[in-house]
């Protein structure tokens, strides 16, 4: 009887290990569908582990679902304590070591080859993330390109955003920013977020032109950017976005020139975390 129980336990153990190995094998594939399938299989393996240990189906389901509640550890610790300024000013950046930022040099060269003229470098610190913007503009395409170099906790990454404005002051953006926004978009600001794996600058420029075409815009519907006021526009848009989120209860003022996330805001961030887990897995 004891030997039979041991064999059953070992069989369950081997089943879980085999499923986990299969899941990690799929995770190493280049195909997105296979990688996502691998993540799902690992999720199933964690549920099976608790099901075999307890013999309770609901315990297994709860164990699998617990993965989706892991973001609350960070939400209730670090993010809940965060205080960020209501007013943000971009500071002039004379030099940025682009060698530590992935693809930064390649983006810079490709933008200049595509006819974009460098304006200036500027940056700020938002919620512990250092962001340096390399700003470009193109009078012919009536667009602004911002190459953002990000550094947080000694981790660096780069993303590119193209911006066009219509005659009604609507803002239309295409970006390969790898994460979901942490604040709601302000009115009249429209985002076209493409996969962060599409790092080619020319592909992103092409996607932006296609995005504008789908909205029905022609060349005469767009405004020519003013290179002398691009950084001021970024500051103004962030303040407008902060005001929009204050009005919607996502954040609230702390009374000392800063804001923090409300309970509603934490749930908004949790939803964004889940979206990233599913999209990036």
DSSP H helical ranges for the chain: 2-27, 32-54, 57-65, 71-74, 80-81, 104-113, 201-214, 230-247, 263-280
Average pLDDT, the chain: 86
> Contact 124/90 with Cβ under 8 angstroms?
yes
pLDDT given for residue 212 in this prediction: 93
Q: Is 72 exposed, middle or buried (0-12, 13-18, 19+ CB in 10 A)?
A: middle
Q: Across the strands, what pairs with 192?
A: 174
pLDDT given for residue 280 in this prediction: 67
pLDDT, mean of residues 48-67: 81
pLDDT given for residue 200 in this prediction: 82
For residue 105, give the nearest of 174, 160, 161, 171 by alpha carbon. Answer: 160
Name the pLDDT band for 147 (thresholds 50, 70, 90).
very high
pLDDT given for residue 72 in this prediction: 92
Instruction: For residues 163 and 235, give the distance between their C-alpha atoms in angstroms, rounded to a whole number.
Output: 14
pLDDT given for residue 281 in this prediction: 63
pLDDT for residue 114 is more than 60:
yes
Name the pLDDT band for 5 (thresholds 50, 70, 90).
low
Query: What's the farthest any 2 CA atoms get from each other in the chain?
Result: 83
pLDDT tens digits, 204-231: 999 999 999 999 988 888 999 999 999 8
pLDDT for residue 132 is more than 60:
yes
Q: Are strands 189-193 and 84-85 parallel, antiparallel or unpaired?
A: unpaired
The phi-psi region of residue 72 (left if phi > 0; otherwise alpha if psi is between -120 and 50; otherwise beta) is alpha
Per-position DSSP letters for 188-244, written without gaps between them = TEEEEE--TT---HHHHHHHHHHHHHHTT--GGGBPPP-GGGHHHHHHHHHHHHHHH
């Amino acid at each position: 009887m004891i030997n039979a129980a041991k064999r059953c336990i070992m069989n369950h153990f081997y089943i879980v290990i085999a499923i986990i190995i299969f899941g990690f094998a799929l995770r190493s594939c280049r195909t997105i569908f296979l990688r996502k399938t691998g993540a799902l299989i690992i999720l199933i393996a964690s549920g099976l582990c608790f099901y075999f240990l307890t013999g309770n189906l609901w315990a297994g389901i709860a164990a699998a679902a617990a993965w989706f509640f892991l973001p609350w550890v960070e939400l209730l610790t670090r993010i809940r304590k965060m205080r960020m300024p209501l007013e943000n000013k971009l500071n002039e950046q004379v030099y940025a070591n682009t060698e530590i930022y992935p693809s930064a040099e390649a983006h810079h060269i490709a933008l200049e080859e595509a006819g974009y003229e460098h304006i200036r470098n500027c940056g700020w610190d938002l919620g512990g993330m250092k962001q340096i913007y390399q700003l470009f503009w193109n009078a012919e395409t009536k667009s602004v390109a911002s190459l953002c170099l990000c550094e947080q906790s000694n981790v660096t990454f780069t993303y590119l955003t193209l911006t066009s404005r219509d005659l009604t002051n609507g803002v239309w953006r295409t970006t390969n920013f790898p994460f979901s926004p942490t604040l709601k978009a302000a009115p009249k600001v429209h985002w076209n977020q493409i996969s962060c794996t599409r790092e080619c600058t020319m592909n992103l420029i092409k996607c932006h032109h296609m995005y504008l075409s789908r909205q029905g815009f022609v060349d005469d519907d767009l405004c020519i950017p003013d290179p002398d006021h691009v950084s001021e526009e970024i500051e103004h848009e962030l303040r407008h976005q902060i005001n929009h989120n204050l009005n919607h209860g996502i954040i609230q003022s702390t009374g000392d020139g800063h804001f923090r996330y409300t309970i509603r805001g934490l749930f908004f961030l949790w939803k964004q975390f889940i979206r990233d887990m599913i999209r990036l897995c």
